[in-house]
Amino acid sequence: MPFDALAMRAVEARWRRDLIGAVCVKVQQSGDRLLLTLKTHAGTVQVLVVLQPGIQRLHRTSRQTLADKRPVFPWLQKIVPFVLEDIHVPPFERVMEWRIQSRDDWGQDLPGRLVIELAGHLTNVVLVDDAGLVVDAWRKVPPGRPGRHVWPRLPYQPPPPLMNPLDLRNAADLPPWARRWLEDGHDWETLEQDFQNGFPDSGWILTNPQNQEVWVYPVPGYQGQPAQNFEEALDIVFQDKERRRQRDALVKQVTAEVENRIGHLTAKLSQYQQDRLEDGAKDKEWGDLWLTYQYAFKADPSLGAFTVTGFDGEPKTLVLEENQTPADAAALAYRRYKKAKARQEALDRLIPILQSERQNLQRLLQQVGEDHPLDWYKTQLKATALAKTDQNQRLPYRRFHSLHGLEILVGRNRDENAKLTFQKARPDDIWLHAKQAPGSHVILATGRTNPDLEDLLDAAELAVFFSSAQDSSSVPVDYTRRKFVRKRPHAEPGQVLYQREKTLYITPNPDRLRRLGAISEKLAES
């Protein structure tokens, strides 16, 4: 990660030269990104602050807006416009403090500090008043938690200070890239002088076969080229990093979706091809045998079973059920034969379709590893979602399978909830619902058997996921046999009363939901 303490110092020196006295007139927010518009004596500039661990940074940018803009935190929006009066970065830290001047609701000057912390995984933006108390923060840490706290109306505590390697010239306290730079034959005197001066204006664009970076010096293992503008180089290279990160995430999503569909098709094809071998010939043989030897039962009405030689030379025993005639038994066997033949014909049409779909998906899986524009991957995800939507529209209820293969049905709306509970479910199936939270009725198809705990947890997880409590933790989920659920009198469809319930407490588990396919299901419906 090249945006270390030296890169922060380089940015600080340039901003102290160019941005002191600037007025921030606009703030935009998108996820863990802030885009601030400042008016300076030289014109309007934009400053990007990225708080995402791994690519956290701040620099001027050419972006005009952020995609997927969200409402800015009220406490941050409230101080706009503000004047940037001073900038300070502690030596060898990735914490930048802006001394700002805004106005309160009565037009009075309101001095304070905006602290941007880019150290480690706990990146943050904290507004501190002139008395040193936290006004508000991007990430608030309440008292009682391990480590320092960041909480409104409590004194602001900066991150623990790091050792300044320039004091003792201890290379172990340097960022890794700076250590490599020293090991390449450079000296402490140059580092100390450049650090005090804010480093040369150009900076360096560094490339190797794997990636591209921007830093204040060239380092071994990279081909170095001076950058005309250090912050512009940061903007370009990090945008490419973000694109590659997005691409990698999309590749994983598309790959998972395609592999899941291929696995589903493979299992279906295996089952269908096995079913295809069952042509009903044995049922036809039994029908023929019943008609051939029906005379024996007519000759002796008390005869209940008769052993004969089958067409394959093996002995077969014809057993007559109570109140059944040989003609009835033959008709039943022929019906099974016709049903098998009809299924065989349907499979003859279906199997090639599924095989073709699987081949197309396997070709797509090979293409996913190539470098495509981000929109290509999004299009593939959308196509997968639409295919699932079409499939779901053909089937009532959302359908899943638990760890041990039990069917789990989930209602999509109140009408489906009512039909699922009172028409589809059997009396001894398990009925589940997130307690005191609007959401789906869930049926775990157990019949009279007692489910395994993992199967029950799978169903309870779905009850939470398809409820208004999906983002909460330790959500109570009531469950009981369906026969103990009844309609609430004079209520809307899906509103019920139940008894003999037990309760599970569920905290949503992404791995379990992913195994069940619930996340993909919700994506398809969104």
User: Coil, strand, or helix at residue 396?
Assistant: coil
The CATH class of 5-154 is mainly beta
**C-alpha span between 465 and 455 (Å, rounded):** 15
**C-alpha span between 8 and 87 (Å, rounded):** 12
pLDDT class for 526, splitting at 50, 70, 90? Answer: very low
- pTM for the full model? 0.59
Runs of H (alpha helix) within 133-187: 165-168, 176-183
The tens digit of pLDDT for each residue in 43-84 reads 999 999 999 888 999 999 998 888 777 788 899 999 999 999
Query: Exposed e or buried b for every residue in 161-188, given b needs 16+ CB within 10 A?
Result: ebeebbeeeeeebbbebbebbbeeeeee
Report which of 82, 25, 30 is spatially closest to residue 51, judged by C-alpha positions.
Answer: 30
Q: What is the predicted pLDDT for the residue at 461?
A: 94
The domain ranges of the chain are 5-154, 166-228, 249-391, 395-525
Decide which of 330 and 345 is more confident. Answer: 330
DSSP-derived secondary structure for 46-82: EEEEE-STTS-EEEEE-----SS-BPPPHHHHHT-SE
Give the C-alpha distances (Å, rounded to integers) separating 185 from 10, 38, 180. 22, 41, 9
Average pLDDT of the residues in 323-352: 81
Q: Which two tokens stand for residue 509?
A: 């588990």
Residue 447 has pLDDT above 70, yes or no: yes
User: Coil, strand, or helix at residue 128?
Assistant: strand
Report which of 502, 417, 419, 395 is spatially closest to residue 466, judged by C-alpha positions.
Answer: 417
**C-alpha span between 128 and 95 (Å, rounded):** 14
Percentage above 90 pLDDT, the chain: 57
**C-alpha span between 289 and 286 (Å, rounded):** 5
The amino acid present at 14, given as its one-letter code, is: R
Q: What is the predicted pLDDT for the residue at 201?
A: 81
**C-alpha span between 99 and 124 (Å, rounded):** 17
The tens digit of pLDDT for each residue in 464-495 reads 989 998 877 789 999 999 999 999 998 888 89
**C-alpha span between 111 and 100 (Å, rounded):** 6
Q: What is the predicted pLDDT for the residue at 512?
A: 84
Pairing of the two strands 496-498 and 57-61: unpaired
Residue 290 has pLDDT above 80, yes or no: yes
The tens digit of pLDDT for each residue in 238-285 reads 998 988 888 999 999 999 988 988 998 899 889 888 888 887 888 899
44: exposed, middle or buried (Cβ count in 10 Å: 0-12, 13-18, 19+): exposed
Do you know the residue count of the chain?
Answer: 526
Give the C-alpha distances (Å, rounded to integers) separating 66 from 46, 47, 70, 314, 497. 11, 12, 9, 78, 48
Q: What is the mean pLDDT of the chain?
A: 89
DSSP-derived secondary structure for 219-285: -TTSEEEE-S-HHHHHHHHHHHHHHHHHHHHHHHHHHHHHHHHHHHHHHHHHHHHHHHH--SHHHHH
pLDDT class for 387, splitting at 50, 70, 90? Answer: low
Report which of 471, 479, 514, 523 is spatially closest to residue 499, judged by C-alpha positions.
Answer: 479
**CB of 468 within 8 A of CB of 389?**
no
The amino acid present at 393, given as its one-letter code, is: Q
Q: What is the predicted pLDDT for the residue at 230?
A: 93
Q: Is the dihedral of CA 282, 288, 290, 292 positive or negative?
A: negative
Average pLDDT of the residues in 157-166: 90
Q: What is the predicted pLDDT for the residue at 422?
A: 94
The tens digit of pLDDT for each residue in 31-52 reads 889 999 999 999 999 999 999 8
